[in-house]
Amino acid sequence: MQTARLSFITLREDPTLTEKAAEWFHRKWGVSIEAYLQCMESYLSMETEYGWYLCMDEDTIAGGLGVIENDFHERKDLSPNICAVYTEEEYRGKGIAGRLLEMAVSDLRIRGISPVYLVTDHTGFYERYGWEFFCMVRSDGEQTMSRMYIHR
């Protein structure tokens, strides 16, 4: 893989990728394609500034993430949330997720939206990109708690 081919875009920069992106996120996380399409359409129609970010290797999605109101957890007051962070295995270790996270946080901050939250079971990864552990939260329908991070 040559990193020179990688490009980092928002879905607004190339809305023709909407269906492809919804299908890709669905395959990674199991959330319905319709749910992704609804969030993406709200972003594309300017109803929300909660966006969708992609790393493309020519026509291939190498990584992506979204920003939504709530990432299926009980703390509805902690919003917005980065969601669906994923980098394809063959592209890992190249800083793709970090760059996507920085893009999203920067875009939100420019629009006066801060802080930003995310739910994860990872420890040590998000701290590299300026995220801090905030609290434990229960995901909808789950018995176990997950880690909530904040980026101020």
Q: Are 54 and 36 in contact (CB under 8 A)?
A: no
CA distance 37 to 40: 5
pLDDT digits (tens, 9 = 90+) for 8-60: 999 999 999 999 999 999 999 999 999 999 999 999 999 999 999 999 999 99
CATH topology for the 3-113 domain: Aminopeptidase (3.40.630)
Instruction: Assign 21 to helix, strand or coil.
Output: helix
How is the chain split into domains, by residue range?
3-113
